Structure 1
Amino acid sequence: MWKKFSILIFNNKTWVITLQYMLISCIILSIVILIDTGTLSAEQYIPSIFLTKVGLATTILSALAGALLSMTVFTFSTIMTIVNFYSSNYTASTIDDFVKSDIVLKVLGIFIGGFFYAVTALLFMRETYEHDYVIAGSVGVVYALVCVAFFVRFVQQILYGVQSTNLIKDIFEEALELIRVEVQARQQFADTTPQVAALEVPLRAHATGYVSAIHYEELAKAIRPFDGVVKIHTRIGQFTVEGAVIATLYAEKEQDELHTGDYFVIQDAKIPAIDYKYHTSQLIDITLKSLPPGKADLNNAIHCIRKLSVLMAELLQADGQFVSAGKEANNLIYTVPSTEEELYYAYNQIIPAAENEISVMLALFDGFYTMKRAASPHNAEAVEQFATHVYKRVEPNFRDTLDKKYLQQTFEKITAS
């Protein structure tokens, strides 16, 4: 249930955070109005420094409303400028991450909420003609100071995010955390083999899109009465079409087909918080953007390849073809990609784009060496085989004697380890 709620929040994150700050503004406004109209007797508890005459409060709120509206427009223009920068230098997925980042949504939410507070508080100033002093203006000043603090944080985040090194670092750390969770699951339930029962019931996709999440616990509970096993064929982040078989229920007796919509979240958008391949694909895309005929920033491409190699080295520590999912370790099993498959889909776009760049290829083979040293014995053999395949492909592209020499040395370091 909590997982479903989290997905709902993620899909509507823009509205949730904006409305959250609107709600906070409404609460503050309600308290201020109750005090200023005398409905709530709290004057004796309020320091005199926060009390202002109605005329001054009206002036403050009027200025605040105009300023916050201007800041909202300015902030939105800044966001659009950064979006244009990201689209030119990085990838579409990094734009999504920036637009949906907490600080961007919070700064918009607090400015909109502040404008709502100031305008609405002005409307209620007419109800306070019998009172000499109100707190609406002072609260507005405090709110404005909070807005300034949020805007400063917003500017710092922009200055941090436009630096490619920081962006790559954030992507790497998010991917590393998810990969460590995946490796732990693979090591804990490695080589779990599904028990094939007499009957096979296909579970078909209810929609077309990306498999964004799988509710393992709910699915395990649903199949418990069948005394069967579900083998999940699809993976988080994988694209599927309506009607495709995404899992198979093995049962001892005939069962009706389960409705996959209750257990598989299929939508147009991936969920970065649970999909490590979402982040590795970002590194791949940034690498491709940095290679010719794009920006031709080879150092940035090399940096991305090194980070990607570290992630792959972490992932290849665990063996296993089948892994149990969720708490029900006996009846939910999903297929783990082979080492060759992981390496192929990580590098199949990079190699053709960089096969004529010796500096990039040296970094790539250094990465293979890092992977082989960290990988399990079975995976290390697969890494060497993949590196051999890549070497045979790219070696004829280099005719310079020194290029050939250093490429061969780097490759032999892999085969000798």
Structure 2
Amino acid sequence: MRADGRGGWSVLRDAVRTQLWPIPAIGIGLAVLAGVLLPRLDARIDDNLPPAVTDYLFGGGADAARAVLEAVAGSLITVTSLTFSLTVVTLQLASSQFSPRLLRTFSSDRFVQITLGVFLGTFAYALTVLRTVRTAADDQELFVPQIAVTVAFGLAVASVFALVIFLAHLAKEIRVETMLATVHRDATGTLRRILSDRDSAGPAPGVPDIPASSEVVAAPSSGFLVWIDEPALVRVARQADAVLTITAPPGSSLIEGVPIGACWPRRGGTFDAGSLRELQDGIAAAIHTGPERTAAQDVAFGLRQLTDVTVKALSPGINDPTTAIHALGHASALLTELVDRDLGPRILGDDDGPIRVVLHRPGFADLLDLAIAQPRRYGADDPAVLGRLFQLLAEVAWQATDQDQRRSIAEQLGRCRVTTDAQPFDDAERAQLSRLADQVIQALAGRWPHSA
């Protein structure tokens, strides 16, 4: 399999998408440009405009134009402050009520970014145009940019509508159902971009064993593994005629100097000191860490977010099992999507065939355990949560495509049953949970249970 050079672009796109400032900054720049150019256009054509046009343009004098622009600028900076305050409150709510990992989802909300861009752009435009309005008392020629002032009025009206729509949007976004759907959508996009279909992946080449004489590949810096520059790894491995494996998948927490893989000469033997140092420097340059996990190459990040929401909802301080059950539903949908994806190690090689790089990724068993282990532990005393876990296993079992996946599901079923047996449920609850567990067995056998 050839290296994918889109990783760096994905990281850059994710970094820009999850920041609040880029779109507002672009809006301010365009507004200042328009505030400079439109008065110049006014100076050229205002005297030649027909009455049919000027009837719809600003018709006041210089003092009235200044009053309008000052009112627009003053009100918009106040509205912008309110918008920022509401956004910060929403971020705090998402962090404390659901999960700190959801902050990236909120900050990437394009509607919020555009709204802030409209407000700040209108403010910057009004100030820029204000500097061009001149009265006779200024010992200069009277100048009132009719078109520019009319545009400022239009932007102010548009900002009022934007504020109303923003408030409605914010009320929708803080609902847990909307947040879970957003996380689900982003996670699905990530796995579809990163993971190929199982049928289209072709037969996987064998993963080479790490020889005892291999050299350690250490983490170049501490932090979360954000992305791996695959073409760069293949290039340095080819130059050294080496094979290297990275055992830490994107999303892993790295500690500088701690091993994250190994490398060895492809034709046997050992590296000389200069070649090894050059190879390790090249590998370090291709391993990028950051202060937080991102969705650029991390296929487990979406499930981590959903699991965090589930566990937070089950905490004594929140005590909201309904939200936990909803989050488990989204986790089930992601897992059923993953069963048809190639989750094996990513093997990269030269065009002519030799294997150069092996990148380990979380397997189906790891992802299934991520979605179930903590909810099972923290929701052990709630039969509704355990029941939803059994349903999740049945749904994933119905979609499972090979024996390894079914074996992982059967193992999780056994652990859920042990947890159920350890709880002081009444007979009716035990009977219901037993029926749900039996449905998992039927789904594993290819028979969908029709009874509740």
The aligned counterpart of 1:405 is 431
After superposition, residues 121-200 of structure 1 pair within 5 angstroms as 121-126=129-134, 129-134=140-145, 135-184=147-196, 188=201, 191-195=204-208, 200=214
SS at match of 1:332: strand
The aligned counterpart of 2:34 is 28
Contact 1:203 1:259 in 2 (8 A): no
Q: Measured at CA, do residues 14 and 2 of structure 1 come closer, stay the same or move farther in structure 2, by a change above 3 Å?
A: farther
Contact 1:183 1:317 in 2 (8 A): no
The aligned counterpart of 2:377 is 352
Contact 1:68 1:112 in 2 (8 A): yes
Q: Measured at CA, do residues 156 and 264 of structure 1 come closer, stay the same or move farther in structure 2, by a change above 3 Å?
A: farther
The aligned counterpart of 1:209 is 223
Q: Measured at CA, do residues 174 and 207 of structure 1 come closer, stay the same or move farther in structure 2, by a change above 3 Å?
A: same
1:71 is displaced (CA, Å) by 0.6
The aligned counterpart of 1:94 is 102
Normalization by structure 2: what TM-score? 0.82
1:403 is displaced (CA, Å) by 1.5
Instruction: Say which of 421, 430, 436 aligns to 1:395.
Output: 421
Count the aligned residue pairs.
Answer: 415
The aligned counterpart of 1:234 is 248
Does residue 1:298 correspond to 2:321, yes or no? yes
1:115 is displaced (CA, Å) by 1.6
Does residue 1:248 correspond to 2:262, yes or no? yes
Instruction: Say which of 114, 117, 125 aligns to 2:122.
Output: 114
1:214 is displaced (CA, Å) by 1.4
Normalization by structure 1: what TM-score? 0.88
Q: Measured at CA, do residues 247 and 325 of structure 1 come closer, stay the same or move farther in structure 2, by a change above 3 Å?
A: same
Does residue 1:218 correspond to 2:232, yes or no? yes
SS at match of 2:196: helix
Structure 2 distance, partners of 1:273, 1:66, is 40
1:43 is displaced (CA, Å) by 5.8
SS at match of 1:212: strand
CA deviation string 1:19-61 (max 9, x = no partner)? 211111121012024234x4x5676479423354423321210
Mean Cα deviation higher: 105-114 or 322-331: 322-331
1:266 is displaced (CA, Å) by 0.1
Contact 1:211 1:240 in 2 (8 A): yes
The aligned counterpart of 1:58 is 66
CA deviation string 1:172-214 (max 9, x = no partner)? 1222232334542655156432345876343322111111111
Q: Measured at CA, do residues 319 and 156 of structure 1 come closer, stay the same or move farther in structure 2, by a change above 3 Å?
A: same
Contact 1:204 1:260 in 2 (8 A): no
The aligned counterpart of 2:340 is 317
Contact 2:310 2:324 in 1 (8 A): yes
Contact 1:365 1:410 in 2 (8 A): yes
SS at match of 1:126: coil
Contact 1:168 1:283 in 2 (8 A): yes
SS at match of 2:134: helix
Q: Measured at CA, do residues 192 and 185 of structure 1 come closer, stay the same or move farther in structure 2, by a change above 3 Å?
A: farther
1:408 is displaced (CA, Å) by 1.4
Mean Cα deviation higher: 46-55 or 391-400: 46-55
1:79 is displaced (CA, Å) by 1.6
Unaligned runs of 5+ in 2: 446-452
The aligned amino acid for 1:383 is I
Does residue 1:16 correspond to 2:42, yes or no? no
Q: Measured at CA, do residues 327 and 404 of structure 1 come closer, stay the same or move farther in structure 2, by a change above 3 Å?
A: farther
The aligned counterpart of 2:450 is none
The aligned amino acid for 1:217 is P
CA deviation string 1:274-304 (max 9, x = no partner)? 4332221221121122225133222221121
Structure 1 distance, partners of 2:262, 2:415, is 35
The aligned amino acid for 2:293 is K
Structure 1 distance, partners of 2:327, 2:310, is 6
CA deviation string 1:227-247 (max 9, x = no partner)? 333322111111111112223
After superposition, residues 262-277 of structure 1 pair within 5 angstroms as 262-277=285-300
Structure 1 distance, partners of 2:384, 2:432, is 10
Q: Measured at CA, do residues 14 and 80 of structure 1 come closer, stay the same or move farther in structure 2, by a change above 3 Å?
A: closer
Instruction: Say which of 375, 383, 387 aligns to 2:409.
Output: 383
The aligned counterpart of 1:82 is 90
Q: Measured at CA, do residues 29 and 290 of structure 1 come closer, stay the same or move farther in structure 2, by a change above 3 Å?
A: same
After superposition, residues 367-378 of structure 1 pair within 5 angstroms as 367-378=392-403
The aligned amino acid for 1:263 is A
Mean Cα deviation higher: 87-96 or 231-240: 87-96
Structure 2 distance, partners of 1:173, 1:100, is 13
Q: Measured at CA, do residues 126 and 380 of structure 1 come closer, stay the same or move farther in structure 2, by a change above 3 Å?
A: same
1:152 is displaced (CA, Å) by 3.7
The aligned amino acid for 2:250 is I
Instruction: Say which of 320, 324, 331 aligns to 2:356.
Output: 331
SS at match of 2:340: coil
SS at match of 1:184: coil
Percent of paired sites with the same residue: 20
CA RMSD of aligned residues (A): 2.9
Structure 2 distance, partners of 1:366, 1:130, is 78
